[in-house]
């Protein structure tokens, strides 16, 4: 344990904040949250919080609700800010200026600003990713373009202080990369071991060459209409 004791002593003070808002995809939040919580458990000096407008239960895309640990006002200047995604609620949140303003203010002094899945669309809508390379869920990747963002088909993308992950489960990979960035590769490997993250899906990996986004375009358009029907200008901008 000598190795870990040294790193525990040397760890900097750092607050890693996740954003909660109604309708998020649960794994977008709890996957990377578990990784960062393990970091905080193993190495003193790291704190993990979940921010919301209010400390009250918020629905997700599962039957389980989440309750933020802190409000945005209680933690106004996190060192790391991470935004989970979702489907219709997240697309609708692209027109929620109150939430976008919260993201801008919280991101202002952060050394790392990141997202999981369609959470990058919220960062883009807030004007935070303009001129950057980023990724998101494969079905929505090209929606980054109208916001001046270069979409990249990678598991996670790092561009300066911005760190974006592709769909849902990719957030775990991104979070392990983040741990390596802030605490070193040895600590990241220890976290990976402690959460026993060793994916071996029963049907193998995804055959991306066989995935045709155009085939699923009607589903995406239906989600956009449901989310942004009251915001025709933004809907038209994203509908091409």
| Report field, pTM of the whole predicted structure over 0.85 | yes
Concerning whether 132 is annotated as a catalytic residue, the answer is no
Q: Would residue 237 count as lying in a domain?
A: no
Average pLDDT over residues 172-182: 97
What does the chain come to in residues? 240
Q: Would residue 227 count as lying in a domain?
A: no
Q: Would residue 239 count as lying in a domain?
A: no
Average pLDDT over residues 98-106: 98
Q: Is the pLDDT of residue 240 over 90?
A: no
Q: Would residue 232 count as lying in a domain?
A: no
CA 234 to chain centre: 22
Q: Would residue 223 count as lying in a domain?
A: no
Q: How many domains does the chain have?
A: 1
Average pLDDT over residues 128-132: 98
Average pLDDT over residues 17-44: 97
Contact 164, 152 (CB under 8 A): no
Least confident of 9-13, 53-57, 210-214: 9-13
Distance CA 152, CA 150 (A): 6
Which residue segment(s) compose the domain that 85 sits in?
2-210
pLDDT tens-place string over residues 159-168: 999 999 999 9
Question: Which pLDDT score, from 0 to 100, does residue 12 have?
Answer: 59
Contact 38, 192 (CB under 8 A): no
Contact 61, 21 (CB under 8 A): no
Q: Is the pLDDT of residue 60 over 80?
A: yes
Q: Is the pLDDT of residue 5 over 50?
A: no
Q: Is the pLDDT of residue 10 over 60?
A: no
Q: What does the angle CA 87 – CA 93 – CA 95 come to, to the nearest 5 degrees?
A: 130
Distance CA 69, CA 84 (A): 16
Average pLDDT over residues 129-140: 98
195/7: higher pLDDT: 195
Burial class (CB within 10 angstroms; exposed 0-12, middle 13-18, buried 19+) of 166: buried
Distance CA 104, CA 137 (A): 22
Q: Is the pLDDT of residue 100 over 90?
A: yes
Q: Would residue 32 count as lying in a domain?
A: yes
Q: Would residue 118 count as lying in a domain?
A: yes
Q: Is the pLDDT of residue 6 over 90?
A: no
pLDDT tens-place string over residues 41-58: 999 999 999 999 999 999
Q: Is the pLDDT of residue 132 over 70?
A: yes
Q: Would residue 236 count as lying in a domain?
A: no
The CATH number of the domain holding residue 93 is 3.40.50.880
Average pLDDT, the chain: 94
Q: Is the pLDDT of residue 238 over 70?
A: yes
Residues of the chain with pLDDT > 90, as a percent, come to 94
Catalytic one of 30, 33, 93, 117: 117
């Amino acid at each position: 344990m000598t190795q870990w004791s040294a790193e525990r002593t040397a760890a900097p003070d750092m607050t890693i904040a996740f954003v909660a808002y109604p309708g998020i995809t649960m794994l977008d939040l709890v996957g990377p949250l578990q990784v960062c919580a393990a970091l905080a458990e193993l190495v003193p000096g790291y704190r993990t919080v979940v921010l919301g407008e209010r400390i009250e239960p918020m629905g997700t895309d599962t039957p389980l609700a989440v309750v933020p640990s802190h409000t945005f006002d209680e933690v106004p200047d996190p060192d790391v800010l991470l935004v989970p995604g979702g489907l219709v609620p997240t697309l609708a949140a692209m027109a929620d200026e109150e939430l976008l303003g919260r993201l801008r203010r919280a991101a202002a002094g952060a050394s790392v600003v990141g997202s999981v899945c369609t959470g990058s669309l919220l960062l883009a809508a807030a004007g935070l990713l303009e001129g950057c390379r980023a990724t998101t869920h494969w079905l929505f990747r090209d929606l980054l373009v109208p916001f001046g963002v270069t979409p990249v088909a990678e598991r996670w993308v790092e561009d300066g202080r911005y760190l974006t992950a592709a769909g849902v489960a990719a957030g775990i990979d991104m979070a392990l990369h983040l741990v390596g960035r802030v605490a070193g590769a040895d600590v990241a490997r220890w976290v990976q071991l402690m959460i026993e993250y060793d994916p071996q899906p029963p049907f193998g990996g995804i055959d991306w060459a066989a995935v045709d986004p155009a085939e699923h375009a009607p589903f995406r358009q239906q989600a956009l209409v449901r989310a942004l029907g009251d915001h025709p200008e933004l809907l038209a901008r994203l509908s091409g």
